[in-house]
Structure 1
Amino acid sequence: MSRRWDKSTHSTPLLIPPPDMANSKFEYVKDFEQSDPLLPSTWIVVRIDGRGFHKLSDHYAFQKPNDRRALDLMNAAAVEVMKDLPDLCIAYGVSDEYSFVFPPTCQLFERRNAKLVTTIVSTFTAYYIYLWPTYFPSTPLAPPYLPSFDGRAVIYPNTRILRDYMSWRQVDCHINNLYNTTFWTMVLQGGMTNTDAEQELKGTVSSDKNEILFKRFGINYNNEGEIYKKGSVLYRQYELVEPKATPSTEDEASVPEAKQSRSQQDKLKKLRRKAQVVVDHVDIIKDNFWARRPWILSGTPGKLPQN
């Protein structure tokens, strides 16, 4: 195999395969590879979930019902993923899961399913492990209790359905957190067994759980932290805009968008890299969040905030 020197570094040799090796008799095995591009002009959501996190959280003594350190670690890893992949427009996290959203114009990895999912999962996991000592300095990671995540990609045909997906995850966050808050309060403060608490909560609705918290333990659920009730929303921060008096009902993504040129994509990526990725704990079900941050759905960067 011949060598030539990379003139950009003056030190790194690049290996160039000779022509006879580039087309060897073994190259036919490439025919077994399956192309898996996701449908064009659709929203792509890559959702990752922790694998075996019940055992991991027990082993490292996560606080119940919520461990702020663990949530901050999830958010910190997700921020790094957003920074690393400027194609992403928004992400939403709760507990040990995170949803990362690519816009319909995304052409990263030619929209190949496996490449998108494995890149998100591996990048997130790498940063989660790397940042672990920052949030759990006194409990170092050790086998067999090492964090890992699985992932899947789902496509959504228009903005309305994408927003419904995001709303579903936030509603799920509220339902699960109210249950967990009530359950662990009954166990840790009320002295009940897990089984007894579970039996008493079976068939209850939100108002019942709020009543248990307030009447028995003096806890007003409305005063719980927003990060626990609403989860975490990540996006690039630009100057907020005033919502229109009469918001348009037209679905911007219902019509397939034209494929952007490579130069257009590169320009938008540079603009997105300049924006700060923020972690917010707000209502993303109502229109106001999206109306004041139109760049999330439009894909067009806004004005950077004035310092």
Structure 2
Amino acid sequence: MANSKYEYVKTFEQPDNLLSRTWIVIRIDGRGFTKLCSRYGFEKPNDRRAIDLMNSAAQCVMKDIPDLLLAYGVSDEFSFLFHKDCTLFQRRSNKLVSTIVSTFTGYYVHLWTNFFPDKPLIPPLPSFDGRAVLYPDVTSLRDYFSWRQADCHINNLYNTSFWSLIQKAGLDARAAEKRLSGTVSKDKHEILYAECDGMNYNREPDVFKKGSVLYRSFELESRHALLGSSETSAPETPTPQSKTVAEKDRKRRLKATVAIEHIDIIQEDFWNQRPWILSGKTGRLPDDNAKEKS
């Protein structure tokens, strides 16, 4: 493109490259979703259709962007993880955040009728905001995801208790709020059982209690990878990949199934059984075994 006298305006752009060698989490949140939930009559305390819509949109984002390692979602938020060695968009914050937000929003709107066929969208349309947060090591990164899952449990227990008091015990919103004031987890369990038709919170679906975790589903290379912890610590000095190996890994990520599960990510088991997430490497695809046998 030829130079022009107007090109000086580019000097107003500020660099926004994220700090290298840090884990990148892009967290998105729904904008004005309280009103949206009311407008479209979402079920309380949880609407499985709305959760499945969020998960499907996140799954599409994971499929579109192979650099993503993991996503965790609850309610109207999702957190997407990039490896500390990721160089996508030269680690420019605005590019990473805007790409995740716009891709997620696009799929959310596109998939809406699959989950709410009788409730067509009308303006204002659903939208999301986003931010990039950096974590210096695996410990703080895992603590972040543990925080989000713990928060999911705390909020869901409260919301389940609140709405059960309204729907099953006949209280109004103010009385339900007062009844739960000052209660701890054990109290809420007892309230659900004693005052809400013998409701057992432990039998509630895990998707409500634990949120949704998305990751690429590979097969473990060996039993050592399953039992060892060295892979999950993500060594500070990884072996550089050749372009050929990097491209092969990218193709494997694109081919891999993006699993959606509702399981504990606070304990070690999740990470030990899926060492490829934090290592940034790819495992075996199911069809790799078929190719070897043929």
Match of 2:136 among 157, 172, 180: 157
Identity of aligned residues (%): 59
Q: 1:246 to 1:111 in 2, by over 3 A?
A: closer
- Report the counterpart of residue 3 of structure 1 in structure 2: none
Deviations 1:31-67 (A, max 9, x none): 1111100011110000000011000000100000000
1:191 aligns with 2:170: yes
TM-score where L is the length of structure 1: 0.88
Question: 2: CA distance between counterparts of 1:166 and 1:157?
Answer: 14
Shift in Å, 1:110: 0.3
- Report the counterpart of residue 282 of structure 2 in structure 1: 301
Question: 2: CA distance between counterparts of 1:60 and 1:250?
Answer: 42
- Report the counterpart of residue 48 of structure 1 in structure 2: 28
- Report the counterpart of residue 148 of structure 1 in structure 2: 127
Shift in Å, 1:257: 4.7
Give the conservation status (yes or no) of the 8 Å contact 2:233–2:278: no
Question: 2: CA distance between counterparts of 1:74 and 1:136?
Answer: 12
1:166 aligns with 2:145: yes
Question: 2: CA distance between counterparts of 1:37 and 1:260?
Answer: 22
Deviations 1:112-163 (A, max 9, x none): 000000000000000000000000000000013x211000000001111111
Match of 1:179 among 144, 158, 180: 158
Match of 1:279 among 257, 260, 266: 260
Give the conservation status (yes or no) of the 8 Å contact 1:105–1:260: no
Letter in 2 for 1:280: E
Deviations 1:7-46 (A, max 9, x none): xxxxxxxxxx4xxxx1111111111111100011110000
Q: 1:250 to 1:280 in 2, by over 3 A?
A: closer
Superposition pairs of residues 1-307 of structure 1, within 5 angstroms: 17=1, 22-144=2-124, 146-217=125-196, 218-240=198-220, 242=223, 247-248=229-230, 251-253=233-235, 255=236, 257=238, 263-305=244-286
Question: 1: CA distance between counterparts of 2:229 and 2:167?
Answer: 47
Q: 1:76 to 1:249 in 2, by over 3 A?
A: closer
Unaligned residue ranges in structure 2 (runs of 5+) = none
**3-state secondary structure, aligned to 1:89:** strand
Kindly name which structure, 1 or 2, has the bigger radius of gyration based on alpha carbons: 1
Question: 1: CA distance between counterparts of 2:246 and 2:12?
Answer: 31
Give the conservation status (yes or no) of the 8 Å contact 2:22–2:134: yes
Question: 1: CA distance between counterparts of 2:111 and 2:228?
Answer: 44
**3-state secondary structure, aligned to 1:141:** coil
Unaligned residue ranges in structure 1 (runs of 5+) = 1-16
Give the conservation status (yes or no) of the 8 Å contact 1:105–1:259: no
Question: 1: CA distance between counterparts of 2:81 and 2:28?
Answer: 12
**3-state secondary structure, aligned to 1:187:** helix
Letter in 2 for 1:158: D
Question: 1: CA distance between counterparts of 2:278 and 2:83?
Answer: 7
More divergent stretch after superposition (241-250 vs 230-239) = 241-250
Question: 1: CA distance between counterparts of 2:80 and 2:284?
Answer: 23
Deviations 1:86-128 (A, max 9, x none): 0000000000000000001111000000000000000000000
Shift in Å, 1:304: 1.2
Shift in Å, 1:305: 2.5
Question: 1: CA distance between counterparts of 2:140 and 2:93?
Answer: 20
**3-state secondary structure, aligned to 1:93:** strand
Aligned length: 285
Give the conservation status (yes or no) of the 8 Å contact 1:48–1:150: yes
Shift in Å, 1:246: 6.2
Give the conservation status (yes or no) of the 8 Å contact 1:41–1:257: no
Letter in 2 for 1:289: F
